[in-house]
Amino acid sequence: MTRAALWLRVSTDQQTAENQEPVLRQYAAAHGWDVVREYRMNGVSAYREEANAAAVAQALLECAAFDVLLAVRLDRFTRRGIETALRYVREFKERGVKLVTVDDGAQDGPAGELITAMRAWFANQESAIKSERVKASVMRRRGQYLGGLRPYGYERDGVTIREEEAATIREATQRVIAGEPLRAIVRDYNGRHVPTVTGSPWSRSTLYGMLRSGRISGQYMLGREIGGDAEWPGIISKTDGLAVRRIVAPKSETVVDDDGNVRKRWSAVAPKTLLRGVIHCATGHRGGTAMVGWTRARSARSPRERTIRKKYRAYRCLECCAVISGDKTDEWVASRVITRLDHQARARRAKPAGHYAPLTAQLIALEGRRAEIIEDARQGILTRKDRNDLLVGVNRDIEAVEAALAASRHEAARHMWASGDLAVRWGSLTFDQRRAVVAAAVERVEIRRLPDDDPRPRNRFRPERISIVWRP
């Protein structure tokens, strides 16, 4: 008796393959076939080759268990076009299995391949037409709320602002612009039991998705980019929206190789010291070597000694081994930062925030230009030499705008922190908030060794060893 395997597939989870099963079993019984296997797929689109490939590969591996693979129509296997459909028919045929559909029968012989090609073309065109209709509907409804999970900061209608959640969004936006990392804000919100839309705790990805979206600034998204103004009002200004999206975007070092491929190296190390990335050694052979947090715990000879030594924290240069006390250095630098920012607040020299929007828009345009150059080189429109020449100029402009943008953001952050009572508030600030204050005011802290003729120990904390380079 001929052995048959049933192929049942629907494109969405809202559909069910149960409707196809009676038709297939009735067809198999009418031909006297014994059903020995079922390949059932729910929510798998036949237009997406990668989604269908695993099931097809499994059926090819198990071809020895059946003689016929039965489906309702050819589009249950694929909608990718003639080439893919014929490839499937031939691969199964090579393994002794016939592809049979209820609509057209066996897909073998010259006439069968012709029917397969015609059905595959029609299936592909049907999918393309549906796709165009969906896209046209989305284009007509751009900027309109289409339903789904209630967006944070808005009521169920997606348009009316919910003020208590809007205040949370504005607070998070200002804290990010002031230099606080997302993980610190998440930790604070969970500690204060600030609810999310679903009632679950805040996570970094949840906060990131909210701040990266254009919804909170009254704009809709096209993919990962801003598409335009939407029907709902913004909770924050477009200027702040541009700034916060740029700040929370993943930081990476972009490298373009000779083939035009873009490689990225990501860095996501959580700082554990107040001056990480700011403090440098001015005594090393190259000068300006970054210093790292360090303890003497590794050289301890017992657990008790290790516990004691962990309490001694220092900054150490890995090049020349210069060391300075971490706690005393942090305290000394923090006192200078507090004095400087409070003095600026009293002198009314801090400028208001919000003038970084033109720079942000200029940077986005330059990055779009760089992407166009790389894409033109991949398509052969530009030669390698032309691409490299153009990228040199664009990258130089990007570096200049990023430097100006960083200075503008630090100036905005200083305006937020310089309220005149920073000395009083310092004790209540979190570690990440203190780091944000220092980063807003200090460009670098340089540590020098004492002169050789100085009788005092070279690595001991001395204020004269420390030099602060302030941000303009």
pLDDT of residue 308: 57
In a domain, 158, yes or no: no
In a domain, 274, yes or no: no
Domains: count for the chain: 3
Whether 292 and 384 map to the same domain: the answer is: yes
Whether 85 and 186 map to the same domain: the answer is: no
pLDDT of residue 450: 72
Whether 21 and 129 map to the same domain: the answer is: yes
pLDDT of residue 326: 83
Whether 15 and 106 map to the same domain: the answer is: yes
CATH of the domain at 75: 3.40.50.1390
Residue pLDDT tens, the chain, 472 long: 788 888 888 877 667 777 788 888 888 888 888 888 888 877 776 556 666 666 777 777 788 888 888 888 777 777 777 777 777 777 888 888 888 888 766 656 666 667 777 777 777 777 777 777 766 666 555 666 767 788 999 998 888 999 999 999 999 998 888 778 888 899 999 999 999 998 899 998 899 999 988 889 988 877 677 777 888 899 998 878 887 887 787 655 455 555 556 555 444 444 577 887 788 888 755 556 778 777 665 555 667 666 655 566 788 887 777 788 888 888 899 999 888 888 777 665 544 444 556 777 777 788 778 878 887 887 888 888 888 888 888 888 888 887 777 666 666 666 666 666 788 888 888 888 888 888 888 888 988 877 766 666 666 788 888 899 988 7
Whether 322 and 381 map to the same domain: the answer is: yes
Whether 135 and 171 map to the same domain: the answer is: no
pLDDT of residue 268: 44
Whether 288 and 214 map to the same domain: the answer is: no
Whether 42 and 181 map to the same domain: the answer is: no
Whether 212 and 343 map to the same domain: the answer is: no
In a domain, 361, yes or no: yes
Whether 418 and 344 map to the same domain: the answer is: yes
Mark which of 105, 140, 175 sits at the end of a domain. Answer: 140
Mark which of 248, 270, 294 sits at the end of a domain. Answer: 248
pTM tops 0.85 = no
In a domain, 259, yes or no: no
CATH of the domain at 193: 3.90.1750.20
In a domain, 155, yes or no: no
Whether 206 and 89 map to the same domain: the answer is: no
Whether 49 and 183 map to the same domain: the answer is: no
User: Residue 178's domain spans which residues?
Assistant: 163-248
The helix-helix angle for 82-94 and 109-140 (nearest 10°) equals 140
In a domain, 304, yes or no: yes
In a domain, 15, yes or no: yes
In a domain, 44, yes or no: yes
